[in-house]
């Protein structure tokens, strides 16, 4: 295959993945007009349309999808090999993209990154906050962070956080008006602060467990958020009960600004894990970061 054909296909893969000439051109470092000309030339050579263009959108045709599916992985493997050769220098380098929820990003990733990055100035890390169960392969992330039981079996998982617990909490001002729930079923009678899950658009059912009994309680209330900070603030204002990670509310519990209920229904569970595809050939930069994030239990415990 002629060298220009390879360049044209690489340009097409960028456009098909980005679904935008603007973003693809910026990624490739060329002008939009030059990229558009390249696409027309490739389509003319193949004698078939690869992209469907409208005034508002751009997407691959059936032939384009097939080209993307069949050739995309091979070009990615070539790029991976080239990146690894590039990294055979004194200092590890490259960009690592990680998707994680707000809580692990703040409590696990950031403490490590703040110490790790100054030691490796040629490594860049992009952390994208996302509560959904993101397909890291399709979205082109290097890794994701999830709770241990949520990691798919075909992924490599590295534990990066301690065992966790959840807590059902409310402010003293809230309990001044309502009796604390003594069993999970009574939560349905309370004003609860809900979490919206982006994956399916539904509300998170509070997962409570005691012994071998597990309950998923669907609560109701005036407020729904998709992050931790606003749920903590709402609970502190006495606007309802919240179901939050224990470490987040511990300072407020110690100060007495929040009170805990149903503690015996909140057992410990596996903490956060870094996960990535088992077939992934890890770069030097990624291997260093994964090792830095690896959880090590405190000695003497």
Q: Indicate if the alpha-carbon torsion angle 9, 11, 13, 15 is positive or negative.
A: negative
Per the confidence metrics, is the pTM higher than 0.85?
no
Give Rg (Cα) of the chain: 24
Q: Domains, the chain, ranges and CATH?
A: 3-71 (1.10.10.10), 94-163+271-293 (3.40.190.10), 166-265 (3.40.190.10)
pLDDT in tens for each of the 301 residues of the chain? 455 577 888 888 888 888 888 888 888 888 888 888 988 898 888 888 888 887 677 888 998 888 888 887 887 777 777 666 665 555 788 899 999 989 999 999 999 999 999 999 989 999 998 877 677 888 888 999 988 666 666 788 899 999 999 999 999 999 999 999 999 999 999 999 999 877 656 888 999 999 889 999 999 999 999 889 999 999 999 999 999 999 999 999 999 999 999 999 999 988 899 998 876 567 888 999 999 999 987 765 4
Cβ–Cβ < 8 Å for 97, 104: no
Q: How far apart are CA 254 and CA 231, in angstroms?
A: 18
Both tokens assigned to 19: 């679904």
pLDDT tens, residue by residue, 65-115: 888 888 878 877 777 776 666 655 557 888 999 999 899 999 999 999 999
pLDDT of residue 188: 93
pLDDT of residue 116: 96
In the block, residue with structure tokens 């080209």: 67
pLDDT of residue 148: 66
pLDDT tens, residue by residue, 228-258: 999 999 999 999 999 999 999 999 999 999 9
Both tokens assigned to 158: 């590295």
Q: How far apart are CA 292 and CA 113, in angstroms?
A: 9
Rounded alpha-carbon distances, angstroms, from residue 189 to 176, 183, 241: 15, 11, 11
- Spatial strand order of the sheet with 259-261 comes to 242-245, 166-170, 259-261
């Amino acid at each position: 295959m002629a060298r220009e054909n390879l360049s044209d296909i690489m340009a097409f893969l960028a456009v098909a993945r980005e679904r935008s000439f603007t973003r693809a051109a910026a990624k490739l470092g060329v002008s939009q007009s030059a990229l558009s000309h390249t696409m027309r030339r490739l389509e003319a050579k193949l004698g078939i349309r690869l992209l469907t263009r409208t005034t508002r959108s751009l997407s691959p045709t059936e032939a384009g999808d097939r080209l993307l599916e069949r050739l995309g992985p091979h070009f990615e493997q070539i790029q991976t090999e080239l990146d690894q050769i590039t990294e055979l220098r004194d200092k590890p380098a490259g960009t690592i993209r990680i998707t994680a929820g707000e809580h692990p990003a703040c409590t696990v990733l950031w403490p490590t990154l703040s110490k790790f990055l100054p030691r490796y100035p040629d490594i860049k890390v992009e952390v994208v906050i996302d509560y959904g169960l993101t397909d890291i392969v399709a979205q082109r992330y290097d890794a994701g962070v999830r709770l241990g039981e949520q990691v798919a079996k075909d992924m490599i998982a590295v534990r990066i956080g301690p065992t966790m617990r959840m807590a059902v909490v409310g402010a003293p001002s809230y309990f001044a008006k309502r009796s604390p729930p003594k069993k999970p079923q009574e939560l349905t009678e309370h004003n609860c602060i809900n979490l919206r899950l982006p994956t399916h658009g539904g509300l998170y059912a509070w997962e409570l467990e005691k012994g071998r009994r597990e309950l998923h309680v669907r609560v109701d209330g005036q407020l729904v958020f998709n992050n931790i900070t606003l749920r903590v603030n709402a609970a502190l204002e006495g606007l309802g009960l919240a179901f939050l990670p224990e470490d987040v509310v511990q300072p407020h519990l110690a100060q007495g600004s929040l009170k805990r209920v149903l503690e015996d229904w909140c057992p410990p569970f596996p903490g956060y894990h870094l996960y990535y595809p088992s077939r992934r050939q890890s770069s030097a930069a990624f291997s260093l970061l994964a090792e830095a994030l690896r959880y090590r239990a405190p000695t003497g415990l």
